[in-house]
Amino acid sequence: MTGIDWLILGLYFAFVLGIGVALKGSMKTSADFFLAGRAIPAWVAGLAFMSANLGAQEVIGMGASGAKYGIATSHFYWIGAIPAMVFVGIFMMPFYYGSRARSVPEYLRLRFDEKTRGLNAISFAIMTIFSSGISMYAIAKLIQTLHVFDGVLQRLGLNSSWIFDFAIIISAIVVLVYTFLGGLSSAIYNEVLQFFLIVAGFLPLSYLGLKNVGGWSGLKATLGPSYTHSWAGLSHANTNRLGVEWFGLVMGLGFVLSFGYWCTDFLVVQRAMAAKSMSAARRTPLIGAFPKMLFPFLVILPGLIAIALPTQPAVPSHARVVVGAEPPGKGIIPLKLDATSGQPMLDKDGKPQLDYDLAVPSMLLHYFPPGMLGLGLTALLASFMSGMAGNVTAFNTVWTYDIYQSYIRPGATDAHYLWMGRASTVFGIAFSIAAAYMANRFNNIMDMLQLVFAFVNAPLFATFLLGMFWKRTTGHGAFAGLLAGTAAAAIHHGLTLPAGAVVGIKGGWLAVTHTYPSEMAQNFWTAIYAWSTCFVVTIVVSLLTRAPEESKLVGLVYSLTPKPEEEPLAWYARPASLALMVLAGTVLLNIIFW
């Protein structure tokens, strides 16, 4: 990185911190801090809704999947996000926003009971801390591998091996300062800033790369149809790169996992709850869906281009990447090296593995001269920080309202909860840092934790769907369904194994009764079993237990809630019109990239 790149990065830091400072004065009540005073305009909340999910792991991971699986990765957007974003905006937001619940767990208490809320709040709080730590670890590892920021340590007279610690501490401090000062408002406004920076940093990359490989037709000619079609070959798991058949993809990813995340995860739903009116809250996910629909061109396409470029070990001199000395990978993606020996890592067939996570960073270094490189790396850091701030603000709210106020210290003054919000921001980030170091030392524990989180999350959407649309659903039913769904996920995982994997963390730890063609297929089917079990158990237990009083469910259940009044909006700005437009656009994209 040269002086100009540092200038751009410094400017970004100054602005995100400046927004925190500017908002400090308006944090007077806990609602200002945790709910942004419910005063955020729809377009701001919409971009933040999308941006909070756009962590660095997303940007890096989607580029990596693009290089690995091709344009079929866009299923994670077009099937795996858009329909759920439309659903939460049109059908679920009236209950989230209308109930005046301050968090998703609080909605569960209003609708069901204390134990269902407790289960959700505690598991969510733990998961948030660990996911934030894991992504912190991933980005610090990436910065370490890239060596782009090493210069600053050398100038300070420090050993460049400290860059891992340096990256974690600096980014944590910046996020801490701006969320501590301005709470959710600060996180949301910064997510908007970060969103535009990500677009500004990645758009020229896709353009230059595509121009270089001769456009989409050139890419098709180089990579062949398996990389450039999203649906062709999905009739059977063995005829596409994902190793999944269409039913598992549509039901597992498109229905269970996608709706489970976008419709129930407080990290994203919190952005809509902060909107200034019911209509703004409903439009929040719909507005976010428009850029979401187009993001494959910014984050997946660079991965495809990276694998399509002629294999060349040479790297630009200013980049100081060490991969140049190693045997070439494929395209501009280097081989995956063992951290201790420095030797290429081999897969089960003895072939060297590619380090797909370096696809997007390699593209930045390949195409961007000083200046643009600074903007591109700033975009990468911006995505990391927006994802982390999303976790932090969701954690401090659930901790303060759903755990501290409910179980530890009810009935304190509002000023006390505002103070607790700030305190939990500090220790939430401290725990995340601890989790990042844990991931660095004990990678296996982290893999196992992520697996457990997946089991806990898989059944969630069944509970919300029944809770919002079937008034007979009871608290006992919801609680039993969630536990049964999580158990079903664990049992299914314990009984199946992806092809070629070893029994253990990948599955089969009870007995191997079925082998899936890929890990992705196993994940999708685990989710399908978990959801179905939760759905059935919730219904059965609800019918066996006493029906809830209908008067208490007004505003929480579809059939007992009056239709939300439409604000006088232009026809194109109404929730239903936005939903139709974004769905039509998604169908069109699926047809184009069939």
Partner 1 sequence: MGIDIRLPLGILFLLLGSILVVYGAASNPSLYGQSLGINVNLYWGVVLLAFGALMYALSRRGARAETRAENIPQSPRSSGH
- Applying CB under 8 A, which residues contact partner 1? 4, 7-8, 11-12, 15, 18-19, 22-23, 26, 32, 36-37, 39-40, 44, 185, 189, 192-193, 196, 200, 204, 208, 211-212, 316, 366-372, 375
Minimum separation from the CB atom of position 568 to partner 1 (A): 11
Q: Are strands 496-498 and 514-516 parallel, antiparallel or unpaired?
A: parallel
Q: 412 and 75 in contact (C-beta within 8 Å)?
A: no
Tokens 């390949």 belong to which residue? 366
Three-class secondary structure of residue 497 per DSSP: strand
Task: Give whichever of 214 and 342 is closer to partner 1, judged by the CB atom.
Answer: 214
Least distance to partner 1, CB of residue 583, Å: 28
Least CB distance to partner 1 at residue 436 (A): 29
| Residue 403: CB minimum distance to partner 1, A | 26
| Amino acid, single-letter form, for residue 251 | M
Q: Which is nearer to partner 1, 19 or 439 (CB)?
A: 19
Helix (H) or strand (E) holding 289: helix 278-294
- How far apart are CB 585 and partner 1 at their closest, in Å? 22
The answer to whether the beta carbons of residues 60 and 357 sit under 8 Å apart is yes
Nearer to partner 1, 11 or 169 (CB): 11
- Nearest approach in angstroms of CB 247 to partner 1 is 43
- Least Cβ distance, residue 591 to partner 1 (angstroms): 30
- Give the distance, in angstroms, between the CA of residue 176 and the centroid of all CA atoms in the same chain: 20
CB of 542 to partner 1, least distance (A): 41
CB 368 within 8 Å of CB 8 = no
Tell the residue number behind the tokens 């709706």, with chain if given.
259
Q: Of 18 and 342, which has the nearer Cβ to partner 1? A: 18
Helix (H, G, I), strand (E, B) or coil at 354: strand
CB of 192 to partner 1, least distance (A): 5
Nearer to partner 1, 11 or 591 (CB): 11
- Helices (H), strands (E): how many in the chain? 27, 2
Rounded Cα gap, residues 466 and 204, in angstroms: 45
Identity at 280, one-letter amino acid code: A
d(CA 227, CA 297): 14
Which is closer to partner 1, CB of 15 or CB of 91?
15
Angle subtended by helix axes 114-146 and 163-212, to nearest 10: 80
Q: Which is nearer to partner 1, 214 or 224 (CB)?
A: 214
Q: How far is the CB of 314 from partner 1 (least distance, A)?
A: 11
Query: Which CB atom, from 212 or from 406, has the smaller least distance to partner 1?
Result: 212
Residue in this structure with the two tokens 């925190």, named with its chain if needed: 20
Q: 204 vs 291, which CB is nearer to partner 1?
A: 204
Phi-psi sector, 271: left (phi>0), alpha (psi -120 to 50), beta: alpha
- 522 and 496 in contact (C-beta within 8 Å)? yes
* Between 192 and 462, CB nearer to partner 1: 192
Residue 40 phi/psi, 5-degree rounding, is -85, 130
Q: Exposed, middle or buried: residue 14 (CB in 10 Å: 0-12, 13-18, 19+)?
A: exposed
Q: Which residues have a Cβ under 8 Å from the Cβ of 416 and sit 6 or more positions away?
A: 409
